[in-house]
Structure 1
Amino acid sequence: MSELVSALVLKPDISKPRWDQSTFTGRAKHFFAVTSPLNLFHSDGTLDHFKTVVDDYKKGNFASSLTVSQLWKAKHVVDSAFHPVTEEKMFLIGRMSAQVPMNMAITGGMLTFYKSPSAVIFWQWLNQSFNAVVNYTNRSGESGSVSQLLGSYCAATGGALTAALGLNSLVKKAPPLIGRLVPFVAVCVANAINIPMMRSGELSKGIAIVNENGEVVGHSQKVARSAIAQVVISRIAMATPTFAFIPIVVNALERRPYFKANPRIFLPLQTALCGIVLSISTPVGCALFPQSTPVSLEQLEPELAHKIKNLSLPPKQLFCNKGL
């Protein structure tokens, strides 16, 4: 049975994650808790209740019956559903906890229907539309105008479709396995387009740099470029096991008599495999880099570094929320 918070002399510090975020293991444990699809089953009322528990606890107010397990559960659910900077409740399918069920269905479709141009267009459009929602929902906190976001979405989706259709035309005479890997290459290219385009406002205006108290002390374009690059790498790492491993398995299975006689089984099979693999690759991919990334003065533009050094109370440490 979990201890009562009121009985502890040293109470949990929920202003930061439960596990040490300077280590990969600590970040992985955090994201396994935050990206769990089970977090999607909480109603708005329950989410608001957990948010109240967390906010009240930060002010020093909590029920005498509150246990440590209940406190951390509330914190993890809040982290999964509310933006870390704006504290707004995030759009349901844009949350990282929706990555496994959503990508499970979309990736299963892309891996199964990769030959027909019309199918490629539909699945790549659906995938990039979903990615655009995720990228916007998990941005660092800044957002652009509606017209800017719409333009970014069109450019990103157009780039993804061009990459997928172009690659398909190049590998028509290649071995079947090469054709099955086309969606993976297209997704890698698309992520490199989609994420920077959807977060173009941060590239032009800079990402918020905060002190140890979470107060904004400036905006940096240099750090924005680094943060977005890390997100691109993480997203590709999430996709690699499903798009690179599953086609190899399926390519071997389709030669077996049973699978030759039952080709329709590949859609549910690949979808199920995607779900299993994504349940691991999603939190692991998120954990590659710290979400609250330490920033040194040397990483900033000279004028911004000079401004911060000359503050009346210069911060001891700087951070940025790189997004997910």
Structure 2
Amino acid sequence: MALDANANKLRINIDEPRWDQSTYWGRAKHFFVTTNPLNLLCTSKELERAREIVTKYRKGEDVPGLTDDELWNAKQVYDSAFHPDTGEKMVLIGRMSAQVPMNMTITGCMMTFYKTTKAVVFWQWFNQSFNAVVNYSNRSGDSPISVQQLGTSYVLATSGALATALSLNSLVKRAPPLIGRFVPFAAVAAANCINIPMMRSKELREGIPVTDENGNRLGVSANAANEGIFQVVLSRIGMAVPGMVFPPIVMDRLERRGVLSRYPMLGAPLQVIMCGICLTFATPMCCALFPQKSSIAVSQLEPEIQVNLAFLGTTAMHFT
């Protein structure tokens, strides 16, 4: 059925996800679409067509013959390439749809070339440089991150990853080979624990808005910011677990059986492929672990906010 732009009751709110975000699988469906690498293959003409449809629909203009599915497909293509706040086309590797192909390549190489100092330095630096591009491309248009903050986060995250990787490599020299293969994961986890809080340090200092169930803003809370950032760190580390735990176990067994010594060129491609398979599922499923609008009990908020809300009888609040 074609959409009638003049019938308000039939209009779709395309500024909200297509699926119910109060359920895990609803969020997972949303992120499977958002991180779909096939969106990288869209031509400039297809991207502009998607932008035209989304722009017209938001303005209430009629798009003749447009169906529900076509509208959602256009919105998904639009979201895959254009910044949600500014509307600018993002650099290719900074898009969410580039996360799986880029991370599978970087992760696979980090786990292949982890024994020499030069290789560790290069791939950890490369990984954090990619993260910096993603952070810059997806920065908030309402509350932009300064170049200084981005630079500080980049330097500290890179330093933390390198310090973790190099120090652990020296400690596990006499440990079983499998232990050494997990060093890149430890470095990535350490970098996430530094990078994300640094990127959102302003929120930790000043707090984030909290609202009631009707969306009415009721205050600003640093405690809610702390909770939200913890959830982001946890989901980011969770994304890395399958791709950085399963492949090392497989590669260790292949090494013990002499497969890698007979076919040394097999190492990097095999790890990249395994990482790709893991990340295809782990990325959207870990993004969906926590709702974008999470709840927090009033008892967990700052005392001054609790006092202000006591007379309202509110027991839970929400934050983004």
TM-score, normalised relative to structure 2: 0.86
8 Å contact kept, 1:208–1:219: yes
Q: Which piece of structure 1 moves more, 91-100 or 169-178?
A: 91-100
Quote how far apart the aligned CAs of 1:4 are. Answer: 2.1
**Are residue 76 (structure 1) and residue 72 (structure 2) matched?**
no
Q: Which piece of structure 1 moves more, 74-83 or 7-16?
A: 7-16
Partners of 2:299 and 2:225 lie apart in 1 by 14
Secondary structure of 1:121's counterpart equals helix
Quote how far apart the aligned CAs of 1:66 are. Answer: 0.3
1:6 to 4, 7, 10: 4
Partners of 2:276 and 2:134 lie apart in 1 by 18
- Decide whether aligned partners of structure 1 residues 267 and 62 sit closer, same or farther in structure 2, where only a CA change above 3 A counts: same
Q: Which piece of structure 1 moves more, 267-276 or 142-151?
A: 142-151
**Are residue 186 (structure 1) and residue 187 (structure 2) matched?**
yes
Aligned-CA RMSD value: 3.1
For residue 173 of structure 2, what is the aligned residue in structure 1? 172
- Decide whether aligned partners of structure 1 residues 145 and 306 sit closer, same or farther in structure 2, where only a CA change above 3 A counts: farther
Residue identity (%): 56
Quote how far apart the aligned CAs of 1:43 are. Answer: 4.3
Secondary structure of 1:18's counterpart equals coil
In structure 1, the gaps of 5 or more residues are none
Deviations 1:60-110 (A, max 9, x none): 323131011111111222333344455554443222211111101101110
8 Å contact kept, 1:159–1:190: yes
**Are residue 256 (structure 1) and residue 248 (structure 2) matched?**
no
**Are residue 279 (structure 1) and residue 300 (structure 2) matched?**
no
Q: Which piece of structure 1 moves more, 207-216 or 250-259?
A: 207-216
Quote how far apart the aligned CAs of 1:148 are. Answer: 2.8
Partners of 1:56 and 1:104 lie apart in 2 by 37
For residue 21 of structure 1, what is the aligned residue in structure 2? 21
Secondary structure of 2:4's counterpart equals helix
TM-score, normalised relative to structure 1: 0.85
Partners of 1:221 and 1:57 lie apart in 2 by 37
**Are residue 226 (structure 1) and residue 224 (structure 2) matched?**
no
8 Å contact kept, 2:149–2:198: no
Quote how far apart the aligned CAs of 1:248 are. Answer: 0.3
Secondary structure of 1:232's counterpart equals helix
Quote how far apart the aligned CAs of 1:174 are. Answer: 0.5
Q: Which piece of structure 1 moves more, 151-160 or 255-264?
A: 255-264
For residue 50 of structure 1, what is the aligned residue in structure 2? 50
For residue 98 of structure 2, what is the aligned residue in structure 1? 98
Quote how far apart the aligned CAs of 1:224 are. Answer: 1.7
Partners of 2:223 and 2:192 lie apart in 1 by 20
Partners of 1:308 and 1:129 lie apart in 2 by 44
Partners of 2:55 and 2:211 lie apart in 1 by 20
8 Å contact kept, 2:39–2:77: yes
Quote how far apart the aligned CAs of 1:200 are. Answer: 1.8
Q: Which piece of structure 1 moves more, 161-170 or 40-49?
A: 40-49
Partners of 1:310 and 1:85 lie apart in 2 by 36
Deviations 1:279-311 (A, max 9, x none): 111111111111233566555444456778999
8 Å contact kept, 1:132–1:198: no
For residue 107 of structure 1, what is the aligned residue in structure 2? 107
Q: Which piece of structure 1 moves more, 147-156 or 18-27?
A: 147-156
- Decide whether aligned partners of structure 1 residues 63 and 86 sit closer, same or farther in structure 2, where only a CA change above 3 A counts: closer
- Decide whether aligned partners of structure 1 residues 44 and 66 sit closer, same or farther in structure 2, where only a CA change above 3 A counts: same
Deviations 1:121-166 (A, max 9, x none): 1111111222233334445653343223212221111111101111
8 Å contact kept, 1:135–1:195: no
For residue 36 of structure 1, what is the aligned residue in structure 2? 36
Q: Which amino acid aligns with 1:198?
A: M
Partners of 1:308 and 1:48 lie apart in 2 by 47
Quote how far apart the aligned CAs of 1:31 are. Answer: 0.6
Q: Which piece of structure 1 moves more, 11-20 or 92-101?
A: 11-20
For residue 241 of structure 2, what is the aligned residue in structure 1? 240
Secondary structure of 1:254's counterpart equals helix
Q: Which piece of structure 1 moves more, 262-271 or 195-204?
A: 195-204
8 Å contact kept, 1:142–1:207: no
For residue 127 of structure 1, what is the aligned residue in structure 2? 127
Q: Which piece of structure 1 moves more, 183-192 or 130-139?
A: 130-139
Deviations 1:261-291 (A, max 9, x none): 1112111111111111111111111111112
